[in-house]
Amino acid sequence: MEVLRRRCPWDAEQTHRSLVQYLVEEALETVEAIESGDLVDLREELGDLLLQVVFHAEITDAFDLDDVARGVADKLVGRHPHVFAGEGVPSDLHHTWEQRKALEKGRTSALQGIPEQLSALARAHKIISRARSRRVPLDLPTEPVTAESVGAEVLALVACAQASGVDPEQAVRDSVRTLEAQVRAAETAPAQDR
């Protein structure tokens, strides 16, 4: 990549922003390879995704690939004291992970750090997961469902929305904004109100 940045005009002119489309594309192609179960394809797509990491690390003088690798290794060690520091295994690993991450990043809300660019459905899932792991007191359904029933019901709702002239993505996005407001209200409510 260092040679390409010096000798190839296209590679030399790329920036972090100009590469975003390729990063997203390669991540989605990796997802497709995982879903197909084709391990040869998966190996190739992981390589393409890794290329994006290498490319971004080469663009800047602020850090290099070793810094990126060291940073993620340090993060994993710090978030796994039950593995690396002799602590007992927590009863709720997801909660403990989220607590450590929030402390490490100085986050005061379950909503901080959730990408706005996620689809409405993915963002709703992340907000609910984060709220539950951070134990934000919300009244959320907990009835067990199967993956098949979720898929079928979501598709049925999308079909009904389309037949009714409703944009399902926008409808979920609007509901996500309501959910975000509920999370904020629950996080700022006095302890006796929780």
Q: What is the pLDDT of residues 60-77, one digit of tens each?
A: 999 999 999 999 999 999
Decide if 104 is inside a domain. Answer: no
Element (H, E) at 54: helix 39-59
Reported as half-sphere exposure (CB side, CA atoms, 13 A), residue 146 has a value of: 3
Give the three-state DSSP class for 48: helix
* Structural domain containing residue 55: 2-76
Q: What is the mean pLDDT of the chain?
A: 94
Task: Quote the tokens at residue 42.
Answer: 């998966």
Kindly state whether residue 103 falls inside one of the protein's structural domains: no
Q: What is the DSSP letter of 193?
A: G
Rounded CA separation 194/191 (Å) = 5
| Residue 94 pLDDT grade (very low, low, confident, very high; cuts 50, 70, 90) | confident
Give mean pLDDT, residues 6-18: 97
| Residues 120 and 45 occupy one common structural domain | no
Domain co-membership, 118 together with 66: no
Cβ neighbours of residue 65 under 8 Å, at least 6 residues apart? Answer: 53, 54, 57, 58
Does residue 192 carry a pLDDT above 70?
no
Task: Answer yes or no: do 114 and 184 share one domain.
Answer: yes
One domain for residues 116 and 72? no
pLDDT(21) > 70: yes
Q: Which of 57, 76, 95 is the last residue of a domain?
A: 76
Q: Across residues 136-161, what is the average pLDDT?
A: 96
Mean pLDDT of 98-127: 92
Q: Which one-letter DSSP state was computed for residue 90?
A: P
Residue 129 domain-assigned?
yes
Tell which of 76, 96, 121 closes a domain.
76
* 8 Å CB contact between 111 and 183: yes
* pLDDT at 190 exceeding the cut of 90: no
